[in-house]
Amino acid sequence: MLDVEQRNGVSKAQLKKEVKKWLDVVEQHYKVKPIIYTNVDFYKQNLGDEFDAYPLWVAHYYERRQPRIKRDWVFWQHSDRGRVNGITQPVDFNVFYGDSLDFRALLLPD
């Protein structure tokens, strides 16, 4: 998975080039499409439809039903205020959009 949430002064064109290069190298090595993790606004403003072929793990907090993004997603990080027994601090909560077969398709081949 590639976590990309900031440009840090890099141009949008250069960011796209480097992201694509990383995704290609990882996919070629592992034989599975890497997941892109980012937030809705960053995806819309910096990546866009050029990366729609990759599975998306999208952070979009406090939406009631689903993230506001016009593309498919596989994981949705919907809250940073989750509570889990044994952990004193709030944690991120995520949901998976699919069933066990969909999840298996994301894993590295045997």
Q: Which residues of 7-28 are buried (b: 16+ CB within 10 A; e: fewer)?
A: eeeeeeeebbeebeeebeeeee
Query: Pairing state of beta strands 91-96 and 75-82?
Result: antiparallel
State the CB neighbour count (10 A cutoff) for residue 64. Answer: 5
Q: Measured at the alpha carbon of residue 46, what is the angle toward residues 1 and 76, in degrees to the nearest 5?
A: 45
The radius of gyration computed from the CA coordinates of the chain, to the nearest angstrom, equals: 15
For residues 88 and 100, the answer to whether their CB atoms sit within 8 Å is no
Q: Is 5 a catalytic residue?
A: yes
Which residues are designated catalytic? 5
